[in-house]
Structure 1
């Protein structure tokens, strides 16, 4: 990626795929800060961020509902685990409703990670996979698994009422679960998934909606809501500042 900034990730696959989307590393080895824009994508990121003392600070970010401009300092190195909402509930075991569009710092040595586990991505991936497998639940709420499976399969293009019927779980209970555990209504999360599903086409210069938007104006409005810019500017992606789009373009 331009300016030396890089991001590389691996998918866990198997039983962990329901709970974790990717395990990765990113960095800015250059001498100057790198401005990037982080887009809402429905994931919850756990960061192990190298600090000035040679150790790693542990940060957990909540779900995001808007684009956020960030400056990545020079000589940055960070490892990440990106969870699905179910992963937050069953592997992390903690609600994240209290830090929507923000985050919290966790204890050093979280989950027993040590400096040796951050030698490179392969080493970190091995340690992360071992740790995550140990935390796999013996059983889960089948309604929740079906709920997320249907949402992902539909790229968020499914109503709360339809989900409630298919899952066999009342709309009010579903929304209460989402609000109390993740900090936002289910409908909002679905729109984030639809926005995320639009990004691969935009990354390759397709400026017209391929999903079920009411019309072009609705598409433009929703893209701007989550990206802060209209589809044309997002697709142009000057200076690779929309990191997620740059990654999708390379796929």
Structure 2
């Protein structure tokens, strides 16, 4: 788990690590975010297509664990003073095999989990590398002996294309009807496949927008469609997103510089 990046200043620290290859189908990344200051910071969380398991505490909040479902709109949040959060970002297939439950009721929402979930405690927030090792071992112990090949291929195509394949193309590639796929997505995740792919395309544009490429680099129909989708999922225009005033769009602030 050495492939990742780290950004740090006197106020905030961010570190990102890719998971062990044995977890590739289920875990996107491990990451940490720390606010070293005595002041809280207002931030905006953008939809990014991930299921996040947060382990966190702050100067004013005791250790707690929360599971956050998919986001379909920008979410105003506050990064508390002297806060630390270690996070496991899951791919959707993990809900079925690792988390083992539907998350449709967590659309644009989150749930508190027991404070001893998976055997974690506040002590595990002292060392990020050890946290990642412990989380990896726990998830490896939950890995299924086999998975539904059709679903695995579907998600492989969705992620490898950054959501650019149409529902029809995906359906034809995995020999699963569009109607059945959408029923599966809506029942398990609370969202249609098309809507989910739109979120992945939006997320894939983050790096381009931060680099100043304000015209569509993915399969958006045209500039107008691109702007409309960015506004829908971020609340602002691509130009405003690039400005990232006060570093409020936290996912942009933590993107590595190219």
Give the TM bin, normalised by the shorter chain.
over 0.9
What is the alpha-carbon distance in structure 1 between the residues aligned to residue 43 and residue 123 of structure 2? 29
RMSD: 1.6
Unaligned runs of 5+ in 1: none
Q: 1:183 aligns with which of 186, 190, 207?
A: 190
Are the aligned partners of 2:56 and 2:125 in contact in 1 as well (CA < 8 Å)?
no
C-alpha distance in 2 between matches for 1:159 and 1:40: 20
* 1:36 correspondence with 2:43: yes
Secondary structure of the structure 2 residue equivalent to 1:85? coil
C-alpha deviation, 1:55, in angstroms: 5.1
TM-score where L is the length of structure 2: 0.93
Matches within 5 A, 1:9-24: 9-24=16-31
Aligned to 1:190, the other structure's residue is in SS state helix
Q: Indicate conservation of the 8 Å contact 1:5/1:34, yes or no.
A: no
Tell whether the 8 Å contact from 2:20 to 2:136 is kept in structure 1 after alignment: no
Say if 1:166 and 1:64 are closer, same or farther in 2 by CA, change over 3 A.
same
Q: Secondary structure at the match of 1:37?
A: strand
Paired residues of 1:62 and 1:96 also in contact (CA < 8 A): yes
Quote the offset at 1:3 in angstroms. 6.8
Question: Is residue 2:248 matched to residue 1:241?
Answer: yes
Once residues 133 and 215 of structure 1 are traced to their aligned partners in structure 2, the CA distance between those partners, rounded to angstroms, is 43
Question: Is 1:46 equivalent to 2:53 in the alignment?
Answer: yes
Q: SS in structure 2 opposite 1:18?
A: coil
Give 5+ residue unaligned stretches, structure 2. Answer: 1-7
In the comparison of the two structures, how many residue pairs are matched?
251
Between structures 1 and 2, the one with greater helix share: 1
Matches within 5 A, 1:114-125: 114-125=121-132
The reply on whether 1:97 has 2:104 as its aligned counterpart is yes
The CA distance in 2 between the partners of 1:92 and 1:115, in whole Å, is: 21
For 2:59 and 2:213, how far apart are their aligned partners in 1?
42
Which shows bigger deviation, 20-29 or 173-182?
20-29
Equivalence for 2:5:
none
Quote the offset at 1:134 in angstroms.
0.7
Residue 232, structure 1, aligned to residue 239, structure 2: yes
Cα distance in 1 for residues equivalent to 2:40 and 2:200? 30
Q: Decide whether the 8 Å contact of 1:97 with 1:179 is kept in 2.
A: yes
Q: Is the 8 A contact 1:205 1:236 kept in 2?
A: no
Shift of 1:130: 0.9
SS of 1:12's equivalent in the other structure is coil
Question: What per-residue deviation string (whole Å, max 9, x for no partner) do you get for residues 158-195 of structure 1?
Answer: 11121111101111111111011101011100000110
